[in-house]
Amino acid sequence: MNKTKVTKKTGKKILRFGVLVVLIVLLYVLGLAGLFSTNAMRILLNIALYVTLGTMWNLMSGFTGMTSLGQQAFIGIAGYTLCVITSTYNLPFWIGIVLGGLFSAILALLMSMVLFRMRGMYFAIATWVTAEALKTFFTSWKFVKMGAGMSVKARPYPGVSLIYVIALSLSIIAILVVYSLLKSKTGLGLNAMRDDADAASSVGVNIFRSRLLCFVVSGFFTGIAGAIFYLNRGSIFPSGGFGTEWTVAIVFIVIIGGIGTIEGPILGAIIYVALSEYLSKYPGYSMIILGFIAIVVIVALPYGIAGTIERKLNLTVFSTRRTLEG
Amino acid sequence: MKRKLHQRLAVLAILACLVLISACGSGGTDPSVSSSAAVDQEECILVGRVVPITGPLASFGSGTPFVEQQAIDYINDVLGGIYMSDLGRKLPIRLVHADSESSLTKASEAAVRLIQEEFIDIMVVSNTADTVCPVSTVCERYGIPCISVDAPADVWLAGGPYTYSFHAFFNTENELNCFMDAWDQLASNKQVGLVAPDDLEGLEIATRLPEMAIGRGYNVVDPGRFAVGAKNYGQLIRQLKGSGCQIIAGVMNAPDFAVFWRQCAELNYQPKISTIAKANLFAEDVAALGRLGDGLITEVWWAPDFPGISSLTGWNGKELADKYQVATNLENVPATIGYKHANIELLYDILSRAASVEAEKVVAAIRETELETLVGLIRFDAQNICIMPCLTGQWSVTDDGRAELKIVANTQKPDVTVNGPVRRHFPSASTLSGD
């Protein structure tokens, strides 16, 4: 009886992963073969980037309990790094992307020295203030042309299909990194820390090291995603790169999709991009409707769409739950 | 039980939301598509236009798409379209516009959408650096020719160098010179207070004003930059007042200036001359300030009575203004519509010479442009810009609350009539010490 149950469970798991692999292969093949229209590619590219951004914010807020409202700091830094590398130093764009991620990780490291003394809302506000301070600094920094913004000068400029493939790969890597992290011993500590940091600390979880790891990983991937976004856009301005709109979008994605689940940011990103595309025809109303949807979902589905599906139907692809065996 | 009720309420709310979205969708034609629906997308030249229809720059967007569409209708209906050499026949033009929501980021997104979703052949854009600069850089990224007007030329140039984008408008130097023409007309202590936010135009003015003002014998007090959308200017005003600035100069959005100017009155700070760019361009914005709007100085780049004939329709400024007033039923004719019309004049001239929508051919045609338009002669230099003149205007608010603009200096365009000298602001109010 038990053996049949286990076989059924394993079968379901294999089926889910099989479907997922087929889907990923299809996304790559169709993109590389040029079977998507440029518009479809633009939408999928945005989804892939928001999946990465949402996954990284989820790692911090959903799995570790560090709610950041300043993810735009990493996006802006990486976007500007890409522009400086390609425009000022005439180097290839991929160096700009990698350095963008590295500088974002270094920024996370520097921020952690001060910000990790704070918790909860104080931490959230401090991250937001840091991003705002960076926006002000970049607006008056001559090296980056102050508020006039900078352009990406890649030669030759990569096509949308190549940028799409890079973004898709990044989102897959980001999900795998977070999944592996949460399945590891460190992940167990992170969950314990989210539920009660003091209790976790008393049983041997190194709070500072765990938080630092998440913050730096999140900063790195968020930065890379930001650099890819601006590679596709072609230019960056301080008000956009360090804009609070980024955090609004990321929080919406994770809350709607399901905070504390791997699938949540994926579902959230698809919904957010689809809604943004549709509502772009109705400027002025778009943010009202997005806000309204967020409130409704928070009230009705406090665990988000993925969280509710997991609880009601026991359906999950990337389960990070741990069960006692024996 | 309670939970089930919550869920039902949520379902109802989602349904309401969907109905709301559908209602928006059924509200007539797609708002981004021009009203000239008779033109088939397959058989036309697609022209993109990003415009601030909502947000703090909405006054600039007023008149779009009417003015552009009016000129395009003339091209399609009277001239029969534009000849395309590879097809051997004329094609009509179709305008597709998108709202920038007065945001740099949204302007970029709108431009990308027009390029990748609508597959536009060419972009025309105007209405402040916050709209023009991001759209031009997106066009550079995708290799789409872009013709822009109505943003200080040097601010636009800072985002370059450009290959596919070209721009015609006054530069910050011309703008500040027209303000200084007003300063020179009134006796003052020559102390100028700089009022500039940390946006594209604010930073450019903050860089240029001190050197230019010193050159004309004025001293500039710079209290530093402030954020766009700030709600409290108390500290800034106290600094200007404390420094005895009888003149203020800078740049602000109209809604921000309204807040700033009311706080100046509340704090009893009454400079003799206010020369704030971008803030006092539109009669409605000035009239909304009531008596506080009387005497404000503004840059003027076009008015219906300016000399100039449209190369496309043969209309003069008055004829264009009359058509605008009849169609919109609006009393005031904004300065923006002259350049909006000129943008389509340029479009027609360039595409007619290129006889193609291939980017390289269009760019080559733009480089050879030499067109006498409704707003003056347009000829692009090696940096893809054409510097246009700028005049000095002063608002009078009548007893019945209407705002009227008078030209008080014409140094850069002497063929425009001057209506009188600069009046002092707040003529009946107390003045700063040191008068």
Question: Which residue type sits at A261?
Answer: T
**Is pLDDT at B30 greater than 50 in this prediction?**
no
Q: Which residue has the higher pLDDT, A302 or B313?
A: B313
Structure token digits, residue A95: 């160096």
Domain identity same for B166 and B177: no
Domain identity same for B345 and B365: yes
CATH of the domain at B148: 3.40.50.2300
Q: Is A137 on the interface with B (CB under 8 A)?
A: no
The pLDDT score that the predictor gives to residue A309 is 85
- Please give the mean pLDDT across all residues of chain B: 85
Domain identity same for B60 and B186: no
Output the pTM of the full model: 0.80
Task: Give how far A159 is from chain B: nearest CA, Å.
Answer: 9
pLDDT digits (tens, 9 = 90+) for B405-435: 899 988 898 888 888 888 876 544 443 333 3
Of chain B, the percentage scoring pLDDT greater than 90 comes to 50
Residue B153 within a domain = yes
**Is pLDDT at A140 greater than 90 in this prediction?**
no
The pLDDT score that the predictor gives to residue B158 is 83
The pLDDT score that the predictor gives to residue B21 is 44
Number of structural domains (chain B) is 3
pLDDT digits (tens, 9 = 90+) for B274-291: 999 989 988 888 988 888
Identify the CA nearest to B134 among candidates B114, B107, B112, B153.
B107
Q: Scanning every residue of chain A, which has its alpha carbon at the shortest distance from the alpha carbon of B55?
A: A284
Domain ranges of chain A: 15-249
Distance CA B342, CA B18 (A): 42
Domain identity same for B260 and B191: yes
Q: Do B225 and A289 touch (CB under 8 A)?
A: no
Domain identity same for B274 and B405: yes
pLDDT digits (tens, 9 = 90+) for A43-82: 999 999 999 999 999 999 888 888 999 999 999 999 999 9
The pLDDT score that the predictor gives to residue B179 is 93
Using omega within 30 degrees of 0 as the cis cutoff, is the peptide bond preceding B421 cis? no
Of chain A, the percentage scoring pLDDT greater than 90 comes to 44
Angle at B384 between CA B382 and CA B390, to 5 degrees: 110
Q: Scanning every residue of chain B, which has its alpha carbon at the shortest distance from the alpha carbon of A234?
A: B141
Q: How far is CA B416 from the centre of its chain?
A: 21
Q: How far is CA B125 from the centre of its chain?
A: 10
Domain identity same for B197 and B294: yes
pLDDT digits (tens, 9 = 90+) for B372-409: 999 999 999 999 999 999 999 999 888 888 888 899 98
Domain identity same for B17 and B119: no
When scoring A135, A151, A246, A271 by the number of chain B Cβ atoms within 10 A, the one with the most, hence best to mutate, is A151
Q: Is A285 on the interface with B (CB under 8 A)?
A: yes
pLDDT digits (tens, 9 = 90+) for A171-182: 999 999 999 998
Residue B367 within a domain = yes
Residue B118: left if φ>0, alpha if ψ -120 to 50, beta else—which one? alpha
The pLDDT score that the predictor gives to residue B15 is 47
Range of the domain at B320: 41-170+307-387
The pLDDT score that the predictor gives to residue B76 is 92
**Is pLDDT at A36 greater than 90 in this prediction?**
no
Domain identity same for B180 and B285: yes
Domain identity same for B244 and B328: no
Identify the CA nearest to A211 among candidates A59, A22, A6.
A59
Distance CA B137, CA A145 (A): 14
The pLDDT score that the predictor gives to residue A272 is 92
pLDDT digits (tens, 9 = 90+) for A24-35: 999 998 888 888
Identify the CA nearest to B84 among candidates B343, B361, B371.
B361
3-state secondary structure chain A: CHHHHHHHHHHHHHHHHHHHHHHHHHHHHHHHCCCCCHHHHHHHHHHHHHHHHHHHHHHHHCCCCCCCCCCHHHHHHHHHHHHHHHHHCCCCHHHHHHHHHHHHHHHHHHHHHHHCCCCHHHHHHHHHHHHHHHHHHHHCCHHHCHHHCEECCCCCCCCHHHHHHHHHHHHHHHHHHHHHHHHCHHHHHHHHHHHCHHHHHHCCCCHHHHHHHHHHHHHHHHHHHHHHHHHHHCEECHHHHCCCHHHHHHHHHHHHHCCCCCHHHHHHHHHHHHHHHHHCCCCCCHHHHHHHHHHHHHHHCCCHHHHHHHHHHCCCCCCCCCCCCC
Domain identity same for B187 and B242: yes
pLDDT tier, B42 (very low <50, low <70, confident <90, very high otherwise): low
Using omega within 30 degrees of 0 as the cis cutoff, is the peptide bond preceding A156 cis? yes
Mean pLDDT of all residues in B47-56: 90
- Please give the mean pLDDT across all residues of chain A: 87
Residues of A in contact with B108 (CB under 8 A): 233, 235, 240
Residues of B in contact with A299 (CB under 8 A): 6, 9-10
The pLDDT score that the predictor gives to residue B425 is 66
**Is pLDDT at B37 greater than 50 in this prediction?**
no
B4 burial (CB, 10 Å; 0-12 / 13-18 / 19+) is: exposed
Domain identity same for B262 and B402: yes
Q: Do A237 and B101 touch (CB under 8 A)?
A: no
Domain identity same for B267 and B405: yes
pLDDT tier, B26 (very low <50, low <70, confident <90, very high otherwise): very low
The pLDDT score that the predictor gives to residue A59 is 92
pLDDT digits (tens, 9 = 90+) for B300-334: 989 898 888 999 999 999 999 999 988 888 888 88
pLDDT digits (tens, 9 = 90+) for B209-255: 999 999 999 999 999 888 888 889 999 999 999 999 999 999 998 88
Q: Do B32 and A293 touch (CB under 8 A)?
A: no
When scoring B135, B144, B199 by the number of chain A Cβ atoms within 10 A, the one with the most, hence best to mutate, is B199
The pLDDT score that the predictor gives to residue A324 is 54
**Is pLDDT at B349 greater than 80 in this prediction?**
yes
